[in-house]
Amino acid sequence: MSQSPSRNQPDAGGPGGRPGRTPAGGPTLMKRIAAPAMVTCWLLGLFWVVLYYMFQDDLPLVGDLGGWNLIIGMGFIAVGFVFATQWE
């Protein structure tokens, strides 16, 4: 029985002859800080929104921003979701 031509050719895949494999290396800096940065952004956003609702008239910076406080808080939360896409 004859073999197919693809079996006789050398494999053009990654190291070790396995196609689709990349060399084993440590995680990049972005992947290492993704989880802590994600949680930090989520907590900062939550803290900002809660702070706004509780002390909107008492704190000078928070009170001056008005409705923009919700956008700032949701922005922190959105950035947390961006970090979540980098987490493995």
Confidence of residue 62 (pLDDT cuts 50, 70, 90): confident
- Buried-state track 57-84, b at ≥16 Cβ within 10 A, e below 16: eeeeebeeeeeebeebbeebbebbeebe
Kindly report, residue by residue over 29-58, the tens digit of the pLDDT. 778 888 999 999 999 999 999 988 888 878
Which tens digit of pLDDT belongs to each residue from 1-26?
666 666 665 555 555 555 555 555 66
Whether pTM > 0.85 for this model: the answer is: no
The Cα–Cα gap between 81 and 60 comes to 29
Give the single-character DSSP code of 49: H
